Chain A
Amino acid sequence: MKLISCTLLCLLLAFGIPVASAERESPAIESIQADFTQEKHLKILQKPLISTGTFIFAAPDSLRWEYRTPIPSVLLMHDGTIQKYIQQNGKFVADRGMRLDSMQVILTEIGNWLDGRFSGNDMFTASFPSKNTVLLEPKDPALAGLISRIELKLAEQRGLLDSVTITEGPQSSTTMTFTNRVLNQDIPASAFIAE
């Protein structure tokens, strides 16, 4: 379960990457906000499973990843702690099934992701098949058993991502598409703290 947690957080952070283009300098990122639509494709699914939500990131390492549909949930990272809450019976309760105690290791990757530095990443090998595509493949065989690759599609606008596709295996993938992206607005710390 630790490996799952590490993977999820790494992916979540990757979704918020502001990327100019591979390995070039990007503008300083203080905060990012965006809406996302998530499509899950799976062999047994007759139609993709659609989820929607928003995310907020504030440098250096605060994150709010919130699903609105189909299951309202919030994942919060702030001041070195990680918490996840899921709505049950109209209330948000702590989700204790996913162990997140190993997340501190992932936080060391944040600076690299935000600066668009993919090479030299301890967890993934990066390649650049086209000018607007970054391909990440896991280095750890155990992680590779969960995720075969991550594909990032860079937006035309310097510093933003259009989509992220996580491929688990044949006929199994998750694609997130980002809209209404806003950079560098002031974000109160309360956005990353459970109420």
Chain B
Amino acid sequence: MRFFLQSRLKHIFGLIVLATLLAGCAARDQHPPSLTYSQALPQKCDGIFPEGTWQFVHSINFAGGRDNTTTVIGVTTLAENSIHSALLTVEGLTLFAADFLPDDSLNIQRAVPPFDNPHFAEGMMRDIRTIFQPPGGVSQQGRTAAGNPVCRYTDGHDMVTDILPKRHDDNDDCWRIRRYTPKATMNLAITGTSCKVQANLFIPQHIELQSFGMAEYTLKMKLLSADRLQ
């Protein structure tokens, strides 16, 4: 009996692993949906991104691989076109602090190993900009075949970013962002849930960010505070 149960557990575990891998592959291989373009949409995509000076504090659970999961506190301050960001341990130790400037340059004030990896800072800047700043490039509005509104941005490098505002039939998802490489495969998926409106801004209480490709990881963010600053 014991041997039978162990065998079954191994079989089930294998199926779970296979399903996870297939799901990951499926998400990775997703392409930008075909859109029917229109002049205007009932929901504006700009309401997703903060205007003015804001400060957000999140708990961030990072899962980067097997059994590699940790939680830190993230502070993001948006001021004009600059972003100031810091990562702290729960105990208050500053792991990383940097300014992300309008010209895409970085000013790193503190970076404790392993956060001193230059690729980490660049990736973090990319993720934060994608969450908090509207994409650059040519914008178009349209609907998917299912009728869901999409704001599509295509930059000068053929990188596509789709902003999917809350659908009228969606009970929880407040917005989603999907980024696609020039080869039209998804490399970033961000989902905001449990939105609350503050100063005309849809602020998700939870954000999940999945990165695909060279660096695969998942960030699960829970909002601790959101303050509009003078």
> Chain A residues in contact with chain B, CB under 8 A?
1, 3-4, 7-8, 11-12, 38, 40, 42-47, 49, 51, 67, 70-71, 73, 86, 88, 93, 95-98, 146, 166, 168-169, 172, 174
CB distance from A18 to the nearest CB of B (A): 21
Are A42 and B89 in contact (CB-based, < 8 A)?
no
A183 to B62, CA, bound (A): 38
Are B93 and A44 in contact (CB-based, < 8 A)?
no
CB distance from A176 to the nearest CB of B (A): 8
A117 to B10, CA, bound (A): 54
In the complex, besides A86-B90, A97-B69, 20 extra interface pairs with C-beta distance below 8 angstroms are A1-B113, A4-B93, A4-B95, A8-B91, A8-B93, A38-B92, A42-B97, A43-B97, A44-B85, A49-B92, A67-B90, A71-B71, A71-B73, A86-B71, A88-B71, A88-B220, A96-B68, A97-B62, A146-B112, A174-B92
| Residue in B closest to A11 when the chains form the complex, CB atoms | B91
A46 to B84, CA, bound (A): 12
A96 to B70, CA, bound (A): 6
Are A4 and B75 in contact (CB-based, < 8 A)?
no
Interface size for B (C-beta < 8 A) is 34
Q: Which residues of A contact B91 (CB under 8 A)?
A: 8, 11-12, 38, 174
CB < 8 Å A-B pair total: 92
Q: Which residues of A contact B68 (CB under 8 A)?
A: 96-97
The listed residue with most B CB atoms (<10 A of its CB), out of A7, A43, A166, is: A43
Q: Which residues of A contact B90 (CB under 8 A)?
A: 51, 67, 71, 73, 86
Residue from A8, A38, A71, A168 within 8 A of B59 (CB atoms)? A71
Q: What are the 5 closest A-B residue pairs judged by CB atoms, nearest first?
A: A97-B70, A174-B92, A44-B84, A86-B71, A40-B92
